[in-house]
Structures are given as C-alpha cells and as structure tokens.
Amino acid sequence: MSVLDTIDLTAELGKKDYEKRLADLQFKMLRLQRAVFQLGHRAVIALEGWDAGGKGGAIKRVTEAIDPRGFVVHAIAAPTPEERAHNYLWRFWTRLPRDGQIVIFDRSWYGRVLVERVEKYATLREWQQAYGEINDFERTLHHDRTTILKFFVHISNDEQLKRFKEREQDPLKSWKLTAEDWRNRDKWDEYYSATDEMLSRTSTEIAPWHVVAGNDKRLARISVLETVVRELVADMPFDFADNNELVLDREAAHARIEAGQLSAKAVAAVIEEEEKVRHLLEKQAKHAKKSSHDDDDEAEKPKSKGKKR
C-alpha cells in the first residue's frame, strides 16, 4: 500500500482548539529558537507537498512569533544558469544554516526525485542515484550537529482542485496559480508514484519523513509546529514543564559537555535566560490571579441605591 494512502485526510481541528494550541506552540518555538542560538545548534526544515497544499501557511505559523534574525526561509525555484553548472546539491550546501540558525526550505533537494524526475529534467540514472546521494547528504548534516526535519503536506486531488479554483477567483491569491500548476494536475498519478517512492527510500532514522494531512489547514499547521517542537527538544537536552518553562536535563547536558558537543558557557547562558522567563511567567500568573480576585470582589459588592428625592 502507498504511504500516502495511509494518511487520514478527513481529520479536522476546531478554531478555538487551534488558536489555543497555536499560541502554546509558538511560545515554545520562541524558547527553542533562543536555545538553538545560544547552544550554536543548527536546524534544517524542508517542506514538500502538492501545489496549494499549504506549505506557505505552515511556514508562516512556525516563524511568525520567533526572532527574524535567527531564521532564513529559502523559496526554491528552478535553478539558475550558475546553479545548473554545479552538482544539483551545490545550491543547497550554500544555503545551509550557520551555528545557532534555523533554515527553512520551501521545496528542497527532493525536486531531483519529484519534479525533475516527472518532467524529465533529470535522466533516469541521475534521479535513481539521487536517493543514495540525498541520504548521504542528510547523514553528513546530522553528524554535524544539525536537526533535519522533513515534511510532505498531503492533500486530495479534489481538495487541490477546489483550492485552485478559489485562487483563480481571488485577486490577492491569483498570482500563486500558474499554467504550470494546471499542467501538473494532469500528471497527478506520476507525481503520486514519485512521491511514494521518495518517502519509502529516503525516510531514515536520522531524517524521517513526516507526512502531514493537509485537507484541513488548521490541523496541518499544528501538526508541523508540534513536530518541529518535539524534534528540537529531542535533539537538545531540554524539555518543557507544564507552565511552558524550558527545563534543562542536567544529566544529558553534562554528558554532552563531557563529549565536547556543548560548551558549559552556552548551557549556562540558556539556564540564565530561562530563569528570567520563569520569573516573568510567575509574575504574569500572580497578576492574572490578582485581577481575577479583584473582579470577583467587585462583582460581590452591593449596588448602591440612589437617594430618593
């Protein structure tokens, strides 16, 4: 059975639940971005998916509450003449994150085994050998202190057609729709097959694929954010307490310091900043509790009666 066939595209997320979870996850994302910066960690997030699948919306929710100095988004289009003069991975090597940075790719090196395969921009030998080349590329990044997160946003054929028609009628979104997008729909089955092979041959222990159900945009955005937060926490010696405080796993941090993977100074900087955040959270909680108590007292006061004349 196809990997894509196993994805439930009927699931939905209500607006209130979405807004609550979004606020919670974006706060966590901000704290993790600070930790990535202070520890000199690196993160690469690659998004693939169907046209009109919602990749841009997911990227917006991941980044809109974090420091713009700490991340870069690369929208990958057709290679330039200079890029075509090099190996296809060259243009991605030159866009990788520096220490302490998160880099997001809107489309990625997987174009080699998707659009380049289907549209025959790459030869049979080129795209077939690319699976191993890509796995080696990602293994190199992983061994160099880089978290790799790969998402494929999956929507149904009918949902894509619906979104295309909506874009066609919306003056603010019509620019997103091109004649090439319509042509690609005619090759849905070919892209489906190419995607399924890509997922099965390049989902590895160090860089697994996360296939996101995208028919419901709210659910897709939360799924991406939850995965990014979970995997960044797993790759750094931290976790979140119930009050969203970022808590250091001291034993794990000490082991990484001893192994030369982290500096004691960087860990101390994270701890110091989190202490400040913890005090702010406690202060906010006290203020909210006092405001609630004052409102209750005000509600219990007897209403004064006007003087009779």
Domains of the chain: which residue ranges?
4-236, 237-299
Give Cα 93 distance to the centre of its chain: 20
Q: Enumerate the β-bridge partners of residue 238.
A: 248
188-223 pLDDT, tens per residue? 999 999 999 999 999 999 999 999 999 999 999 999
40-60 pLDDT, tens per residue? 999 999 999 999 999 999 999
Note the pTM of the prediction, 2 decimals.
0.88
What pLDDT, on a 0 to 100 scale, did the predictor assign at position 265? Answer: 87
Average pLDDT rounded to a whole number, residues 288-305: 67
pLDDT more than 90, % of the chain: 73
Q: How many helices and strands in the chain, by DSSP H and E? A: 12, 7
112-126 pLDDT, tens per residue? 999 999 999 999 999
Is the torsion defined by CA of 151, 22, 161, 173 positive or negative?
Answer: negative
pLDDT more than 70, % of the chain: 94
- Phi-psi region at 151: left, alpha or beta (left = phi > 0; alpha = psi -120 to 50): beta
What pLDDT, on a 0 to 100 scale, did the predictor assign at position 106? Answer: 98
First CA to last CA across the chain, in angstroms?
86
80-138 pLDDT, tens per residue? 999 999 999 999 999 999 999 999 999 999 999 999 999 999 999 999 999 999 999 99
Report how far residue 261's alpha carbon sits from residue 307's, in angstroms, rounded to the nearest whole number: 77
Q: Enumerate the β-bridge partners of residue 210.
A: 151
Report how far residue 241's alpha carbon sits from residue 263's, in angstroms, rounded to the nearest whole number: 24
239-270 pLDDT, tens per residue? 888 777 788 787 888 888 888 878 888 888 88
What pLDDT, on a 0 to 100 scale, did the predictor assign at position 258? Answer: 87
Pairing of strands 238-240, 246-248: antiparallel
What pLDDT, on a 0 to 100 scale, did the predictor assign at position 255? Answer: 84
30-43 pLDDT, tens per residue? 999 999 999 999 99
The fold of the 4-236 domain, in CATH, is Rossmann fold (3.40.50)
- pLDDT over 60 (residue 159): yes
Is the torsion defined by CA of 125, 130, 131, 132 positive or negative?
Answer: positive
- Closest C-alpha to 215, from 69, 28, 46, 13: 13
More confidently predicted of 262 and 24: 24
Average pLDDT rounded to a whole number, residues 158-183: 94
